[in-house]
Amino acid sequence: MTRKAIAFTVLFLLLPLLVGIDLCHGGADISLADVLAALTGGEVPRTTAVIVRDIRLVKAIVAVLSGAALACAGLQMQTLFRNPLAGPYVLGVSSGASLGVAVFILGAPVFGASAGALGIAGAAWAGAAAVMVLVAAVGRRMRDIMVILILGMMIASGVGAVVQILQYLSDENALKAYVIWTMGSLGDVTPVQLAVLAATVAVGLVLAVAALKPLNMLLFGEEYALTMGLNVSRTRAVIYTSTVLLAGGVTAFCGPIGFIGLAMPHVARLIVADSDHRVLMPAAVLAGAVVMVGCDIVSKAFGIPVNAVTSLLGIPIVVWIVLKNR
């Protein structure tokens, strides 16, 4: 077997194995036989069936979707900006989502209003979309991709300042709710929200697949891609839209989850040893899903936020990237 075949085989075997472990372990461990019975409609206590199907299965699917989405978005951004430290949030998607949630949780009490029924997920998505529309509108007038990267960073800084002001003016309960959201969570997604998240991620992945050939051209630079007849502006728009759907959707429902989108593309490059996005993209998606489910297992075992686990995992990888590219 070739290295690529071994890598994909291992990833395909690891994913269902870790999902099975994730379904079995939690606040109360459930045997694999009972988990399988609950999933297939067999004879199990009603409480066990509810825990497996309505709680743990939903959370495991969210972990798979979020890991795959962030890894895919991160790979697209690293190729587009030709920067190994670019991630899915470089265009201000996370900052926009944070602003939406901050206005929803922190802003309403400041103005003496009720938060209403919009929901944290809706507020996060609205904020991410607003910032992305702003970046895209300004970016249409600019050809230099690095200028767009700097623009996204500047908008993120400005949005962060607004969020800090809202934090300073908010009351204790609202501030606590916002801080909890920033820690990230895979367990607060309802089945209805899961359906929306799955549809969003599916559309984002389809757009990413459509951009595979253009991404391969962009590996050699935009000038080469232009000489090969690639419409760079349209390709950017497709990649931007895919990234917003993938990273924005995950952030809206799960909160900001760091380092998965930054680190997993490099893990995929390491295990498949190929820069062809037709190989690299599925490897990154599978690696992201596997690692995210693993992080969820660790998070439940130690009772810590999943964002803390992904950060502890991602920091050594980022250090390795910096040392490798110095």
Distance CA 303, CA 296 (A): 10
CB of 20 within 8 A of CB of 35? yes
- The CA-atom distances, in angstroms, between 14 and each of 4, 106, 164, 202 are 15, 41, 41, 22
Superfamily holding 3-324:
ABC transporter involved in vitamin B12 uptake, BtuC (1.10.3470.10)
Distance CA 88, CA 240 (A): 10
Distance CA 239, CA 73 (A): 8
- The CA-atom distances, in angstroms, between 139 and each of 144, 147, 171 are 9, 8, 37
Task: Give me the residue spans of the domains in the chain.
Answer: 3-324
Sign of the dihedral defined by the CA atoms of residues 254, 278, 78, 217, in that order: negative
CB of 155 within 8 A of CB of 92? yes
Q: What is the pLDDT of residue 111?
A: 53
In tens digits, the chain (326 residues) has pLDDT values of 688 889 999 999 999 999 999 999 887 888 888 888 888 888 888 888 889 988 899 999 999 999 999 999 999 988 888 878 777 777 777 788 888 888 887 766 555 544 543 467 777 778 877 877 777 777 666 666 677 777 777 887 888 888 888 888 877 888 887 888 788 788 888 888 899 899 999 999 999 999 999 999 988 877 888 888 888 888 888 988 898 889 888 988 888 888 898 889 999 998 998 889 999 999 999 999 999 999 999 999 888 888 889 988 888 877 877 677 65
* Residues ≥6 apart with Cβ < 8 Å to 51: 26, 28, 30, 38
What per-residue string of b and e applies to 45-74 under the rule 16 or more CB within 10 Å gives b?
eeebbebbbeebbbbbbbbbbbbbbbbbbb
- pTM listed for this prediction: 0.88
CA 279 remoteness from chain centre: 20
